[in-house]
Amino acid sequence: MTSARFPLAVLPTPLTRLDRLAAALGRGPLWAKRDDLTGFGVAGNKARALEHLVGDALARGADVLVTGGGPDSNFVAAAALAAAVAGMDCELVVAGGAHRTTNLALAADAGAVLHPLDGPREGIDAAVERLAAGLAREGRRPLAVPRGGSTRVGAAGFAAAAAEVVAQWPEPQPPASVVIPVGSGGSVAGLLAGLAAAGADWPVLGVSVSRPPDEITATVLDLAAATAGAPPRADLLTIVDARGPGFGVASPADRAAAALVRRTEGLLLDDTYGAEAAAVLVEHLGTDPRPALFWLTGGIPSALAHAGEQAHDEEIRERTP
């Protein structure tokens, strides 16, 4: 689980109590792991993976980081920025056409070369490999990283996060559940590996926003085993299907849960990951008297954009004197 680390994030992130949200739900103590506050590039959990991915790239003497994602990927922006500060070049495969998004604008501004890919996100990893092979033929020293940074090396960053939260946890009893959103699965895989290494038998409730639960559960268990060097306890992992109306689209229940979190705690959740995780927290652990842990993974830039849209659509009422 050890790998070279290139420091990017502000660590440890705080563990804070969500007393007003817990009271509103009528549940026991609720804690939030504040990976929305990792600092680097407002990149949330991606800063943790990139510390290890960039550290590994530098240790291998790579001079160009090659990866990819969809146009709204938080990972592509963060990877471009991390490569820039580490003095590496960055080339990115962007599926679905490189239309203008904040994340792509940030990546381009950081100096990354964008390669649009026609077709679905599933084709990205193969295209990343082809791009890296082409760069190697030109005499470059590329390091190819699959989308989301979900490799053993990237997951090691999140294993370190597990050690952090075990050291911070103040309750006499362990959390009834750790609720965390799941995209490519690297974060939750690292979390499982790190909890096992810390000897913490904490149940993890993963909220899958892009892949079917069976498929992503298998991926996560394999990656956790590779990260930890030993198979994790599969019985501690439950992954629920939160794909709902589609990737990046929050259901009415997701939006209601996000609004509750915003109005009780002032925390901003995005429509792709955070809102879905909040809805699962409310549904599965809403009235549980036992302590629980809600992992905030970031997504603040898109949360801000969507909170504004939502307010305009639904709630701004004119007040006449």
Ligand X SMILES: *Cc1c(COP(=O)(O)O)cnc(C)c1O
Helices assigned H by DSSP within 89-211:
102-109, 124-137, 152-168, 186-197
Quick check: 208 binds ligand X (CB under 6 A)? no
State the minimum distance, in angstroms, from the CB of residue 61 to ligand X.
26
**Closest CB to ligand X among residues 41, 148:** 148
Q: Which of 150, 159, 166 is nearest to 293 (CA)?
A: 166
Choice from 74, 103, 151, 227 touching ligand X (CB under 6 A):
74
Choice from 3, 13, 187, 219 touching ligand X (CB under 6 A):
187
Q: Give the contacts of 250 (CB within 8 A, at least 6 positions apart).
A: 244, 258, 271, 272, 275, 276, 306
Q: Say which DSSP state 311 is in.
A: I
What is the C-alpha separation between 203 and 188, in angstroms, rounded? Answer: 12
Quick check: 6 binds ligand X (CB under 6 A)? no
**Cβ pair 210, 247 in contact under 8 A:** yes
Quick check: 227 binds ligand X (CB under 6 A)? no
State the minimum distance, in angstroms, from the CB of residue 209 to ligand X.
8
Quick check: 44 binds ligand X (CB under 6 A)? yes
Listing DSSP states for 236-304 in one string gives GEEEEE--TTSTT---HHHHHHHHHHHHHH-----TTTHHHHHHHHHHHHTT--S-EEEEE---HHHHH
Quick check: 146 binds ligand X (CB under 6 A)? no
By rule CB under 6 A, what string of x and - marks binding of each residue 269-298 to ligand X? Answer: -x--x-----------------------xx
**Closest CB to ligand X among residues 81, 135:** 81
State the minimum distance, in angstroms, from the CB of residue 86 to ligand X.
20
State the minimum distance, in angstroms, from the CB of residue 251 to ligand X.
17
Quick check: 103 binds ligand X (CB under 6 A)? no
Quick check: 68 binds ligand X (CB under 6 A)? no
Strand arrangement, sheet containing 113-117: 113-117, 89-95, 64-69, 142-144
Query: Can you give the binding site for ligand X, defined by CB under 6 A?
Result: 44-46, 74-75, 148, 150, 181-188, 270, 273, 297-299
